[in-house]
Chains A and B, each alone.
Chain A
Amino acid sequence: MSKGKWINLTFAMIVLNGLMGLSCRKESNPADSTGQDPNVTSMASIEVTARLTEIPEGAIFKRELYNYATVLKYDVLKVHRGQVAAETIYVGHYNPFKPRSEAADKQVPGIGGTLTSFRSGQIHRMAMEVPIDDYFMGGIIHKYFGKFDGPVYWAVWTNEVTK
């Protein structure tokens, strides 16, 4: 093969790889440091940036055979889309012991995010729906049961904010 043809082939491969990168699923695009990505800004009906205030004892545990959601408490820092009921909100996360990118399954498809593990004090950018009962049917670990009025939100996409 001539030198010119090698150059053309190499150029074609570069272009092809670039096109493949553009056509990859949304899930593979990393969020920026503000937690923004195409998923969190478009999925569900509510989008917030909020600080995870605490993780109550027993709220997150590994359980392979039976799925569950856990309710976590957040202080809202910014509302990007939709409305929330208060400055403090309670959000249900599915199988929180898993990285968000691995949480979706046959029982709960279509959720995800860049967050790999939950830690108190983290800031999360979340796309959410409300109330949780309209979107999730399963065991719910709710350490705040009976301690507040208002809805429990359902986390659809959860990205970690690093900046």
Chain B
Amino acid sequence: MFDTTMISLKSKRRATAFASFILFIAVLSEGKIYAAAVSVGEDISVRLLSEEVHNKGWIVFCARSDKGDWDLFLCRPDGNASHNITRTPESSEAAPQFSRDGRRLLFRRLPREEQIDGNRYGTQGALVMANSDGTGAEVFGENGEYPWASWSPDGKQIACLSIKGVSFVDIASRQVIRRQDRKGFFQQLTWSPDSQWLCGVANSFGTGWSVARMNALTGQTHAVSLVNCCTPDWFDDGRHLIFSNRPLGQKANDGYGWTQLWMADAEGTRRELIYAEEGRHAYGGHVSPDDKYVIFTGNMQENGDTGNVGTPMGLMRLADMPIVGGSDGEARSMYPDAKSGPVLKLPVGWEPCWTFVEIEIDAGAARPAKGSDRNERR
């Protein structure tokens, strides 16, 4: 097993050496000391974060391949060891999700010429299921079938969201086991780790885009966050949600504002800022399996710029929240006590998902590590 303790000690010694060097330079030269020290300090903190997450499993995301289509990629949480695991020039793959045990993947496969649509990507193309390394891919249905599919905690079912309602499908038999009314839910359905709830985006709470939860058995619904919210996902504890939120009243971006990452308890009674950045929308927030880190995507384009190449992803510790990134601006004024980092810059991609399960990557093909039985918390 990789010894993270030793890495931490070595890193601290390097950090100490760097700091000492900086102090020495500071004694010799005055004017530019502060800026240099801050810059080096930030670099050190990002490096420490990178080393901290390096061996914590794998992140899957979609990105433009060198053939111009969208493929799925695996990379280490520090952004290294990126591998294309679909390599399908004739089609594009998007919106990957690891099963909760980390051994399986589901995603959408759509024609190469079709642009990924931020409104309906969960309905585009066909649902595909595969091993977590991308091998054994099997098309599960026809184009448009099983929309907004989300894994059950045990990986044996998917919950799907269509205009007709929410359906719970047994994967082995492909039979619909249950249905319930969607009650205004219309996109980005996610089944909670404790199997009790679904979350998604709804229009039934008086605003266009609310993040809400629905009881998976009774269908009872509750709003979590009401205005300009989307891309919700569950914390592993099943009691909190992460979501995107574009607060009202912003003057930046010609009065439209910038979308931020927020979290709330499942009752929606306590909402907190995780990440904001002047000049960038933050979407697609996903929490690590141990609820300690967040990965997200964001861009100047509100949809993550899927019409082009996507956008750099980011990773941060929840313990460092709130963080306001980028240059000074309205967000910094609103949250003057927020930290400025560290935020680890990850490869260009879209809608990432994280597993702690080890996946063996061979040249030419990735495959799941033998003996990886569960999504262990590191």
Contact = CB atoms under 8 A, between A and B. Distances in A.
A148 interface: no
A134 B208 contact: no
Contact of B303 (A66, A68, A106, A133): A66
Given A66-B302, A134-B163, A137-B163, A107 B117 contact: yes
Contacts, number: 45
B118 A66 contact: yes
Contacts of A65: 118, 301-303
Given A133-B184, A137-B163, A139-B186, A66 B119 contact: yes
Interface in A125-159: 133-142, 145-146
B238 to A, nearest CB: 26
Given A66-B303, A139-B209, A142-B206, A106 B117 contact: yes
Contacts of B55: none
Interface string A67-79: 1100000000000
B203 A139 contact: yes
A67 B118 CA distance: 9
Interface residues of chain B: helix, strand, loop or mixed (majority) = loop
B214 to A, nearest CB: 15
Given A66-B118, A106-B117, A107-B117, A141 B208 contact: yes
Interface residues of B, number: 19
A135 B162 CA distance: 11
Contact of B208 (A133, A137, A139): A139
Contacts of B270: none
A24 to B, nearest CB: 28
A134 B118 CA distance: 22
Contacts of B303: 65-66
Contacts of A135: 163
B120 interface: yes
B119 A107 contact: yes
A142 B204 CA distance: 9
A156 to B, nearest CB: 15
Given A65-B301, A65-B302, A134-B163, A140 B118 contact: no
A98 to B, nearest CB: 15
A138 B201 CA distance: 9
Which of A139, A142, A146: most chain B CB closer than 10 A?
A: A139
Interface in B276-315: 301-303
Given A65-B118, A65-B303, A137 B206 contact: no
Interface in B200-214: 201, 203, 206-209
A66 B118 CA distance: 7
A137 B117 contact: no
Contacts of B163: 133-137
Contacts of A107: 117, 119-120
Contacts of B208: 68, 139-142
Contacts of B120: 106-107
B117 A138 contact: no
A138 B186 contact: yes
B203 A140 contact: yes
Given A66-B303, A139-B186, A146 B206 contact: yes
Contacts of A106: 117, 120
A145 B301 CA distance: 30
A139 B119 CA distance: 9
Nearest to B114: A106
Given A136-B163, A139-B201, A140-B203, 7 more contacts: A66-B303, A107-B119, A135-B163, A137-B182, A137-B187, A139-B203, A139-B208
Interface of B: 117-120, 162-163, 182, 184, 186-187, 201, 203, 206-209, 301-303
10 contacts: A66-B302, A66-B303, A135-B163, A137-B163, A138-B119, A138-B187, A139-B201, A141-B207, A142-B203, A145-B206
3 smallest CB-CB distances across A and B, nearest first, come from A139-B208, A145-B206, A140-B203
